[in-house]
Amino acid sequence: MAVAPRSNLVVQAAEDTSRVQAYDLATGKVAWTFTPAALSDARTGVFVVTVGGREQVLLARQGKTSGDGLKQSAPTVTVDIIPARSPAKATAAHHLDLPVPSDRALSFAASGSGFLVGAADQGTYSQATVIDPATGAKRSVTAKDVTVPGCGGATCTLSATPAFATSAGVVSTYQQTTGCDRWANGSGQPCTTGFQVGDAWTSTTTAPRGMHTGIPLAVTGKYLIAAWHSSDSQTDQPALSADSKTTFTVQDLATGKTIASVSCTSADRLALQPGSAQSSTRTSANGRYLVSGQTAFDLNSRTGRCYTSSASSKGIDFTAVGDDGTAYGLIHTGDGSDASSLYGRLPIAPDGTDSTEQGARVDLASDSAKALSEATEVPIYLAASNGVFHTGEVLAVYARR
């Protein structure tokens, strides 16, 4: 399920991927229906990407083609690009078939302004396909050498690996392994771990003072959200923990300029990974508030707050925020799984699988949080006048009071 706020639509794919329907957010009426080509055993993702002010719905599926006649059934990835503003019987403006090995599961990475398909390893891709939602054009991206200023006190050349695509270009991550203190024991210059946004800017030129480790967590609209450490051992994955503070920043996607920042600790040890907070990153309809993972920002006052765990309280993984600063989320309860130990990853499956997590409501203006009753669902999107809820196969929109 995905929301197209400019078109005032919520889009949902049937569980068997036989059709996609867009519903009017105000009335709940079906605005359009799209019927894709049949695939068996399909894994499906529905995304809304905005390019040049126009919203495009991307239906991405990995499955098998039908084996009929002389044709063998074969694994494939298909991507259909459907304009959000479509007639009642929608058709794809672009259809792409991407053959894949049968033994590899691919990930679909949408940032809101870019789309990438590939086999992920801890948030990065050794090889991936970037798709232009406006034209349907596709291109292959792989690791490449980049010149990094401020690396180990000088300039160095490092290999940068794609993480996700945006309107400003592909965000690639890199890690220095030579000429620096790999063990973070104070024996030399800290190693640099960072990222580059297209050809526009590099994290080392915009990092907070003294921060040598930068992880791009998510992109929403014109903002990139990143996490920063002073240094990290090369043997450990960067994490939000109680050991040292993690600084979270909201940065201008085009320039890297820092808009707001906040430093947090957590009683939970949550791994920080490129793109891990994408599913829990939202902005309010009026653009004032932004929530991401377990942090919240007032972009007007350029301030941020932490809603992470402590010795006496649990953390909150945000799901939505409204124009008045009322935000909702799920109380974080780690179960030891990789998913629950990854910062920003919501315990709601993309296909709307039921979640037993308890919800919470936060008033960002007063910095007060309240647990909701266990039977209360939390919205996954808040418009100015209504909220969108998604549980299992049930999609509901309620007027806000």
**Which residue carries 């300039």 as its tokens?**
155
Task: Identify whether residues 71 and 210 lie together within a single domain.
Answer: no
- Say what the pLDDT of residue 261 is: 97
Six-digit token string for 44: 């499906």
Task: Identify whether residues 123 and 202 lie together within a single domain.
Answer: no
Name 240's Cβ contacts closer than 8 Å, sequence gap at least 6.
227, 246, 264, 265, 266, 268, 269, 270, 272, 294, 308, 343
Q: Where are the alpha helices (DSSP H) in 110-155?
A: none
Task: Identify whether residues 358 and 233 lie together within a single domain.
Answer: yes
CB 174 within 8 A of CB 163: no
Task: Identify whether residues 120 and 244 lie together within a single domain.
Answer: no
Q: Which residue among 116, 135, 154 closes a domain?
A: 135
Q: Which residue among 119, 135, 151 closes a domain?
A: 135
Task: Identify whether residues 216 and 357 lie together within a single domain.
Answer: yes
Position 304, amino acid: G
- pTM listed for this prediction: 0.92
Q: Give 5: exposed, middle or buried? Use CB within 10 Å, 0-12, 13-18, 19+.
A: middle
Cα separation of 131 and 323, whole Å? 32
Strand 359-363 with 326-331, pairing: antiparallel
Task: Identify whether residues 123 and 169 lie together within a single domain.
Answer: no
- Say what the pLDDT of residue 195 is: 97
- Say how many CA atoms lie within 13 Å of 108 toward its Cβ: 19
Task: Give the number of other Cβ atoms within 10 Å of residue 99's Cβ.
Answer: 9
CB 178 within 8 A of CB 169: no
Distance in angstroms between the alpha carbons of the first and the last residue of the chain: 24
Six-digit token string for 22: 């867009």
Cα separation of 254 and 115, whole Å? 17
Q: Which residue among 135, 163, 187 closes a domain?
A: 135
- Say how many CA atoms lie within 13 Å of 259 toward its Cβ: 22
Q: Show the domain range for 385.
A: 143-401
Residue of 259, 361, 247 lying closest to 301 (CA atoms): 259
- Say what the pLDDT of residue 352 is: 42
Quick one: CA dihedral 295, 209, 159, 140, positive or negative? positive
CB 319 within 8 A of CB 329: yes
The alpha carbon of residue 334 and the mean position of all alpha carbons in its chain are separated, in whole angstroms, by 20
- Say what the pLDDT of residue 92 is: 97
Q: Per the structure, how many domains does the chain have? A: 2
Task: Identify whether residues 345 and 220 lie together within a single domain.
Answer: yes
Task: Identify whether residues 228 and 303 lie together within a single domain.
Answer: yes
Measure the CA dihedral 226/231/232/233, to 10°: 150
Cα separation of 315 and 122, whole Å? 23
Task: Identify whether residues 156 and 88 lie together within a single domain.
Answer: no
Task: Identify whether residues 169 and 240 lie together within a single domain.
Answer: yes
Task: Identify whether residues 176 and 295 lie together within a single domain.
Answer: yes
pLDDT tens, residue order, the chain (401 aa): 899 999 999 999 987 778 999 999 988 899 999 999 888 888 889 999 998 889 999 999 988 887 666 677 778 899 999 999 999 999 999 999 987 766 667 889 999 899 999 988 889 998 899 999 999 999 999 999 999 988 866 889 999 999 999 999 999 999 998 888 888 777 778 889 999 999 999 999 999 998 999 999 999 999 999 999 988 777 788 999 998 899 999 999 999 999 999 999 999 999 999 999 999 999 999 999 999 999 999 999 999 999 999 999 999 999 999 999 999 999 998 776 767 799 999 864 444 434 568 999 999 999 999 999 988 889 999 987 788 888 766 888 887 66
Edge-first strand listing for the sheet containing 115-121: 107-110, 115-121, 124-131, 138-142
Cα separation of 24 and 354, whole Å? 24
Task: Identify whether residues 10 and 45 lie together within a single domain.
Answer: yes
